[in-house]
Amino acid sequence: MNLKSMFVTVTAAACLGGCASMTPTHETVQGYAVFDITAAQGVSASQLSDAVKSALQLNMSKVQVVNGIPPSPLPEKAPRFQLVSPFKGSGLGALAAASGQSLHVPSCEGAVLTANGVDSSMSGYGERTTFFLCVMPYQGGYALNVYTTFSKVSGGFSAAALGTAMARSVVGDSSQFIPRTIGQIVDAVRATGSSVSLKEAYP
């Protein structure tokens, strides 16, 4: 390596060291949004479900959908998703807890639509986004619940890791597209003539 190449390499490493840790790190960020839907006259649950599903498909690499049946009787208040541990009380659950991992998954009881989407288009950069959403009917309308996770790998001193860190410092990571996807889902529901209002969200 000549002096010029060595200078460029050292300068790039010093620059990146100031904006990102070199310690290999896997990070997951969770978020959610809960909306209330008042369906337009003549708009069925299946039409709302189709609108939600179509909007999700636009942005995901893979989508799995379950079309359920409404509960009877319908609940009086808008239902909300819950995070449950499918391995609670089992050896696997205890092992995960001991290693500092949380094995909780979203669940929507009485949903007419449950969909899971994965966006792996940025997996080459160590990024992965998942969407879980459900539409749950109640006496006053429908509850649309959206739960998201974004995971990324950072750190390290390989050429790929340095290139990814430099790109993120300029354009950010793909988590910035999560609000856009949620917005498209809401817009698709509103396109049916139905009204949608945000009830709670995090972050």
Nearest to 177 by CA among 114, 135, 113, 122: 122
- Apex 105 CA angle, 100 and 106, nearest 5: 140
pTM listed for this prediction = 0.77
**Stronger pLDDT, 16 or 178, i.e. the higher one:** 178
Q: What is the per-residue pLDDT for 85?
A: 86
Q: What is the per-residue pLDDT for 53?
A: 97
Q: What is the per-residue pLDDT for 38?
A: 98
- Quote the longest CA-to-CA distance of the chain: 77
Give residue 87's domain range: 24-202
46 belongs to a structural domain: yes
Cα–Cα separations (whole angstroms), residue 159 to 25, 106, 126: 16, 37, 14
C-alpha of 61 from chain center:
13
4 belongs to a structural domain: no
3 belongs to a structural domain: no
Q: How would residue 9 be classed by pLDDT, with cut points 50, 70 and 90?
A: very low
**Stronger pLDDT, 135 or 16, i.e. the higher one:** 135
Q: What is the per-residue pLDDT for 90?
A: 61
96 belongs to a structural domain: yes
The answer to which of 31-45, 104-118, 145-159 has the lowest mean pLDDT is 145-159
Q: What is the per-residue pLDDT for 165?
A: 54
pLDDT greater than 50 at residue 65: yes
13 belongs to a structural domain: no
Mean pLDDT, rounded, of the chain: 83
ω into residue 106 within 30 of 0, thus cis? no
Q: What is the per-residue pLDDT for 66?
A: 98
Nearest to 135 by CA among 57, 79, 76, 181: 79
Rounded to whole angstroms, the Cα distance separating 165 from 161 reads 6
- 29: CATH: 3.30.160.110
pLDDT greater than 50 at residue 8: no
For the chain, the domain total comes to 1
pLDDT greater than 90 at residue 196: yes
